Structure 1
Amino acid sequence: MDIPVNLAQNIVKTIEANIGYHINFMDKNGVIIASSDPDRIGDIHEVSVIVLRTKREFITTAEMTYKHSREGIDLPVEVDQEIIGTIGITGKVAAVKLFGPIIKSMSELLIKNYLSDNERHYLVERERLLVEHLLFSSNIQLTPDEEKRLVQLTQKPTAVVVWKSPIDVAHKFEMVDLFPYLKRMLQFEPHVISVSTDEIILIISTTVSEQRLKEIWKSSYLSDFVMGIGLPIEAHGDLIASYKMAEFIVSDLKDSSRFSYRHLKDEYLLATANPIAKKQYHTALFQNISPEDYQMIVELLDSYERCNGSIKQMAKELFVHKNTVQYRLNRITELTGYNPRNLSNFYYLKLGLKTSDY
């Protein structure tokens, strides 16, 4: 690997501030890429070339004559058993020799921390691209591991969960810190997650309960966020519908009580006229009803509306006894949980029938 110049310069500044001696950092070719003395940057450090070849430290004494190397000690810098450059400390050998192992260890530690941080940012960005791929069909080159993850995720019904905050939370923590927390909480569940400064999007299997999502939501990380759970989707090509519903739920950032698609009745349907919403609304009302009972509901509610709720008029229109009308009204309540004699319940039932063309 090649060390970025800005990282090498940061290493030089950090070590120099701690030990008070001039420091040079050389790349894999022995070129000085960072130095306490800016005039030396770009020079070939002859001793560094020797260290790279021998893979051992080298002490330069005052008697040695090298054009771009001065008295001091130079050591190989290794990461994952690969020598990626060398670092040198300039000064009287007797004074600086003891600092050799220290500057080597500090350099390697700073590089490992840099790589770890870069890897974390890479994983966050890669996961965001997977979410966009599923929601918006964006083209990305998937790795075999990513393909396997997406197959595991989409072979069962999935839902989109959205978290948004009504306030600026950037001052509390880096949003990227949320990523490892959420990955730990969901490590045993098929999912992908996008974490950005204004929105968290989770695509997850519906085998994960709403109660589990609420527990994750209770974390101090998410205490300032509103959560929205979209409806379950069987065909992953329709996931955008679940996402839009979750977005609709969190659109009111002051209301955290209505956090799931289960809490929506007509407002999302009327606001969007979305065919997926129509299906969801209709299914919620009539999913366990036989065709015969469904036809009875259609006929009875139509008659109830025409007759303005008059049982006597309905019996006459339907050619049945009044007790039969009463029985069928009660039957509708048993089947759907909605009482057609209640004006608001009647409205929901009629709206459900209007969605029957989904």
Structure 2
Amino acid sequence: MNVSKGVAQSIVEEMKKIINQDINYFDTNSTIIASTDKSRIGQYHGGAKKVIERNNDLIIRYDEQYEGAKKGINLPVYFENEIVGVIGITGDKEEVEKYGQIIQRMTEILIREEYIKEQESIERESKRQFIEELLFRSNSDEKTLLLRGELLNIKISIPRVVVVARLLDVDDREALLTPNVNKSILKIFRNNIDKDLQNLIVQNSTDFIMILKIISQSNIERIINNIMENVKRIYDGKIFFGIGDISNNSKEIKKSYIEAKKALDLAVIYNRSNLIYYKNMDIGLLIDDITKESSDKYLSKVFNQMETDQIDEYMLIFSTLVKHNGSINKTSDELFIHKNTLQYRLNKLRELTGYDPRVLSDIAVLQIAFILYKLKK
């Protein structure tokens, strides 16, 4: 194993905080690759060469006793019973000898921790690539996926369900998260599903995609509720979930993902429930069968006189109105506008589309139009 310069430098800097002596790390070529005395980085060290050759500690009693060496102590660093480098403490023998074994052991522990992190990162990246192929590539071979899954200890042919989550800001727009907030939220998702190694997660743009092993519906909902509660503690916005049907192979997992996305889109449009199952979709199931040509004609008929920004604005007003079952007072309160202003905008929507959101028969027409518009984006 090769210890990187970055890892070695962080180790020597941490060690100096403990003993307040200059510390060096040498690679197996006896070159100083990290040091709290930056001027020494890159230099050859004859003492380190002796440590590697003899496989033993070395006290250097005076400067240049060995080429490029200063007085101090140098000790071999082991990883899985092999020397991977040498750690050195600069100073008088009486000052540094007492720290030797402590620094050696702590260095080995930190190297092992970095190795574990690196392996976890490699495994996570391998899983991410596998999940993306599983969900997004239409020409993936089932046998190849099964084999790759086995290598990653992922069993495709067990009952699974895909759950897709999305965060919106306070204005019902897709959330633009800072890297730190995004990392914290992703950690919340992982903490709630990592108890079972067959549960998988990947982030795709603003969506968090979970592929969960089926235990029970209540277990899935418990995971989702825990995620919602924890996300609310660090994010002042909304989070929605769509859940696809149960799958038992790679093709069905793709199908479950598509279903979960459609359920999620409907949850966002309705803005009434944080969670929608594809199997429980009502009008959304009918819309799912509408062709693109029919959808475009329908949207052109209803929104012909409206610009995109107008449709977005009125979609929020309409979905809030539907959420509150047509209550003007509750809708105006949630949107922070006067009820007369709300009535004016509803009248304007009727003028632009020809359909009145306060008339029962027209509500269905507008609802379908807004859903089709949202699904098209």
Would you say the 8 A contact 1:12–1:34 is kept in 2? Answer: yes
Alignment of 1:1-358 (within 5 A): 1-62=1-62, 65-137=65-137, 146-147=149-150, 152-154=155-157, 156=158, 158-167=160-169, 168=177, 170-171=180-181, 174-175=184-185, 177-178=187-188, 181-187=191-197, 190-195=198-203, 198-205=206-213, 207-219=214-226, 220-221=229-230, 225-233=239-247, 236-251=250-265, 252-253=267-268, 254-271=271-288, 273=290
Aligned mates of 1:24, 1:86 — CA distance in 2: 8
Summarize the Cα distance change of 1:257–1:274 in structure 2 as closer, same or farther, 3 Å threshold.
farther
Would you say the 8 A contact 1:158–1:236 is kept in 2? Answer: no
Q: CA deviation at 1:9?
A: 1.1
Aligned mates of 1:175, 1:123 — CA distance in 2: 20
Q: Secondary structure at the match of 1:163?
A: strand
Q: CA deviation at 1:165?
A: 2.4
Q: Secondary structure at the match of 1:65?
A: coil
Q: Secondary structure at the match of 1:250?
A: helix
Q: CA deviation at 1:81?
A: 2.3
Tell me the residue number matched to 1:322: none
Q: CA deviation at 1:87?
A: 0.6
Would you say the 8 A contact 1:22–1:35 is kept in 2? Answer: yes
Q: Secondary structure at the match of 2:67?
A: coil
Aligned mates of 1:123, 1:37 — CA distance in 2: 36
Aligned mates of 2:70, 2:153 — CA distance in 1: 57
Q: Secondary structure at the match of 1:165?
A: strand
Q: Secondary structure at the match of 2:117?
A: helix
Would you say the 8 A contact 1:157–1:234 is kept in 2? Answer: yes
Q: Secondary structure at the match of 2:122?
A: helix
- Unaligned runs of at least 5 residues, structure 1: 276-343, 348-358
Aligned mates of 1:249, 1:123 — CA distance in 2: 30
Q: Secondary structure at the match of 2:95?
A: helix
Aligned mates of 2:108, 2:184 — CA distance in 1: 25
Which range moves more in the overlay, 78-87 or 255-264?
255-264
Summarize the Cα distance change of 1:62–1:260 in structure 2 as closer, same or farther, 3 Å threshold.
same
TM (normalized to structure 2)? 0.63
Percentage of pairs with the same residue: 26
Q: CA deviation at 1:257?
A: 4.3
Q: CA deviation at 1:217?
A: 1.3
Q: CA deviation at 1:172?
A: 8.0
| Matched AA of 1:166 | L
Which range moves more in the overlay, 64-73 or 225-234?
225-234
| Matched AA of 1:164 | R
Aligned mates of 1:12, 1:179 — CA distance in 2: 35
| Matched AA of 1:29 | N
Would you say the 8 A contact 2:241–2:274 is kept in 1? Answer: no
**How many residues get paired?**
274
Summarize the Cα distance change of 1:204–1:109 in structure 2 as closer, same or farther, 3 Å threshold.
same
Aligned mates of 2:145, 2:49 — CA distance in 1: 40
Aligned mates of 1:81, 1:143 — CA distance in 2: 36
Q: Secondary structure at the match of 1:21?
A: coil
- Unaligned runs of at least 5 residues, structure 2: 170-176, 233-237, 293-360, 365-377
> C-alpha offsets along residues 226-279 of structure 1, whole Å, 9 cap, x if unaligned?
22111234553253332122122223444434421122022243156389xxxx
| Matched AA of 2:253 | L
| Matched AA of 2:281 | L
Q: CA deviation at 1:3?
A: 0.7
Tell me the residue number matched to 2:300: none
